[in-house]
A = this chain, B = another copy of it.
Amino acid sequence: MATIKDVAERAGVSVSTVSIALKRDPRVKESTRQRILEAVQSLGYRPNGIARDLKMQQTQTMAVFLHDLGGPFYSELVSGVQDVALSHGYSPIVACSVGGKGVALERLLVENRVDGAIILDPYIKEDFIRRVAGPTLPLVLLDRDIEGAYVYRVTSDHEGGAFNVTMHLLEMGHRQIAFIGGPSVSVDGQLRFRGFARAMKHFGVDLQNRLMIHGDFTEQSGYAAAVTLLSQGRLPEAIFAANDEMAIGILRAFSERSVRVPDDVALVGFDDIRLTQYTTPALTTVHQPMYELGTVATQILFRALAGEKSITPVLLETQVVIRASSGLRH
């Protein structure tokens, strides 16, 4: 691999001249630049980005960490990040935050291979985040509630969305409403429960223990929850699944057993993943502004990188999307 030194030699100039010539610095004479460019060509020289990063003490790269890359709405999030990052001359890369020791999280964050990161993963330990964040590595956390220096936060209004969609169910006359929750670590799952409980209280409806079931945001856990409910003998009037994946699992369990949605039981989810438009019946859910989440988070990252100090947490609105599964004719 040819280095800048080889180019300098071939062109008969010094290394420093090559370096500045390559960034079109007007200090170098046009004729010498040409000579240098020829040398570059003939040697197939490509600058070594790592050497550059080391010298510059920055990488112009930022990372997005996701718990599992396959999540159905992450692509929009990443688009949002991408659009803003590119306009700042940065390259976003996406990495999976799981995998244990020696993995991307270590390599990129601990060993400073990126200038900043956006993190969407309820499982990453709080003290890891606080330890690793710093003036040279601001971190923007999505849907987490961690305070710390150089740690910033953007969250969707899970509680508000959950409140609104629960109100929707209540207004349709349902009172016996089951709640299928997410894993206990996930703040967004907790907030969704809070919104649900607040709406129930608002209508003066008591929560029933047997209708509060814990899942883990997977389709299978939704399926299992449906089976649990069915085993209780009588179904509730409605079910609020804390995310769409679980709602889809529930739908599958019901369809296999000929339980009709929404006639026998109404069902709503959360997230508005693409699939919800295609299920039978289409799923009422709460839309999360994923693209906006990406752009806002990235903007905050650049403000932090620019040295801005006090950046307040951002809360983004969510929106109820009413479809057939909740029983409203439209």
Query: A residues near B, CB below 8 A?
Result: 1, 46-54, 59-61, 63, 68-71, 74-76, 78-79, 82, 86, 89, 91-96, 99-100, 102-104, 107-108, 110-113, 134, 136, 248, 274-275, 278-280
Contact = CB atoms under 8 A, between A and B. Distances in A.
Contacts of A96: 78, 82, 92
Given A92-B104, A96-B82, A104-B91, A59 B50 contact: yes
B52 A111 contact: yes
Contacts of A91: 95, 99, 102-104, 107-108
B278 A107 contact: no
B111 A86 contact: no
Nearest first, the 4 closest Cβ-Cβ pairs linking A and B are: A70-B75, A49-B111, A91-B104, A94-B94
A50 B61 CA distance: 12
A112 B49 CA distance: 6
A89 B69 contact: no
B69 A94 contact: yes
A100 to B, nearest CB: 8
B70 A79 contact: yes
Contacts of A76: 70
Contacts of A53: 50, 113
7 contacts: A46-B112, A48-B54, A50-B54, A69-B78, A92-B95, A93-B104, A278-B279
Given A50-B59, A68-B75, A93 B92 contact: no
Nearest to A111: B49
Given A1-B136, A70-B75, 6 more contacts: A47-B111, A69-B74, A70-B74, A70-B76, A86-B103, A275-B275
